A and B are shown apart, each in its own frame.
Chain A
Amino acid sequence: AQSVTQLGSHVSVSEGALVLLRCNYSSSVPPYLFWYVQYPNQGLQLLLKYTTGATLVKGINGFEAEFKKSETSFHLTKPSAHMSDAAEYFCAVSNDYKLSFGAGTTVTVRA
């Protein structure tokens, strides 16, 4: 069984501030972990993924995430928020056949 918990359904940050979105996973096998972003009225776009190897992974738009097995976490960060980062972000864990998503975190960026 696999599942994801995203802490915080809403995050509000000032433009230029750090963005930190928390994700904890549960998986009976070594996980594949993903972050997706969903802009209003659009589909899901892959931000980054962790499969094996380096635990700090870099994605698009300046985002990165660190896989910490000891903490079963895969938190997403961006050093400096931009107005265009306003969206909903989903953490997901995968086996070969399906993705299990967290509930999502909505990010708003204040000017």
Chain B
Amino acid sequence: EPEVTQTPSHQVTQMGQEVILRCVPISNHLYFYWYRQILGQKVEFLVSFYNNEISEKSEIFDDQFSVERPDGSNFTLKIRSTKLEDSAMYFCASKGVFSYEQYFGPGTRLTVT
């Protein structure tokens, strides 16, 4: 069964450093998403991406964040200058054109020290 994959599973970085989180969505899906979950809190929407552009973004997704689909398979989230409060689990999700449900990857745990 096809699934969304994410790498790395855990990333530790120092405050101020850039990080790139990688996702491989399900191959025939065209809608892509990033969510985050700060420890003990609910899952929050960050950004959605379709047809090579951002469809919607939340207030969390400021200028420090960017997304890219650099090739036909990967979908990345970049944080330019990490802050302590960026520590969270980051989930990638994808959705097919004619379906309603989003399929989630296992997440990347980002720890900013």
A residues in contact (CB < 8 Å) with B: 32, 34, 36, 42-46, 49, 51, 90, 92, 94, 96-104
Contacts and interface: CB of A to CB of B under 8 A. Distances in A.
B107 interface: yes
16 contacts: A42-B107, A43-B107, A44-B43, A44-B91, A44-B93, A51-B100, A94-B102, A96-B31, A97-B55, A97-B56, A98-B58, A99-B33, A99-B35, A99-B93, A102-B42, A104-B43
A43 B100 CA distance: 18
B101 A34 contact: yes
A76 B56 CA distance: 29
Interface residues of B, number: 22
A43 B43 contact: no
Of the candidates B33, B42, B93, B107, the one having the most CB atoms from chain A within 10 angstroms of its own CB is B42
B106 A42 contact: yes
B44 interface: yes
Interface string B49-85: 0000001101000000000000000000000000000
Contacts of A36: 104
